[in-house]
């Protein structure tokens, strides 16, 4: 399992809503990249912090040679 944290620099002084939108856009780009490269993945949990930080727990298959069908059920 991998924990991903999408956050913005606090020095920018952006509001929570702006930070959350930027972080969601960055996460969407990350998911698109995994889909484009045919990486099997499963999002286990997604949560938002009070400052707009997005925390995501992802399970990914790195090796396409091994049978991991039970791993993703």
Number of residues assigned to the chain:
73
Q: Based on the structure, what is the number of domains in the chain?
A: 1
Q: Is residue 70 part of a domain?
A: no
Q: Which domain holds residue 42?
A: 2-60
Q: From first to last of the 73 residues of the chain, give the pLDDT tens digit.
A: 889 999 888 888 888 888 888 999 999 999 999 899 888 888 999 999 888 889 999 988 776 666 666 666 6
pLDDT at 66: 62
**Residue 66 falls inside a structural domain:** no
Q: How far is CA 7 from CA 51, 65, 73, in A?
A: 9, 34, 30
- Asked if the structure places residue 16 within a domain, the reply is yes
Residue 53 lies in a domain: yes
Give the Cα-Cα-Cα angle 60, 66, 67 (nearest 5 degrees): 85
Task: Name the 3-class secondary structure at 48.
Answer: strand
Q: What is the model's pLDDT at position 69?
A: 64
């Amino acid at each position: 399992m991998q924990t991903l944290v999408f956050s913005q620099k606090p020095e920018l002084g952006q509001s929570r809503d702006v930070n959350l939108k930027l972080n969601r856009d960055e996460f969407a780009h990350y998911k698109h990249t995994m889909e484009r490269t045919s990486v099997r993945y499963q999002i286990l949990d997604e949560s938002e912090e009070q400052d707009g930080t997005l925390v995501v727990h992802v399970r990914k298959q790195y090796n396409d040679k091994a049978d991991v069908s039970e791993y993703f059920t």
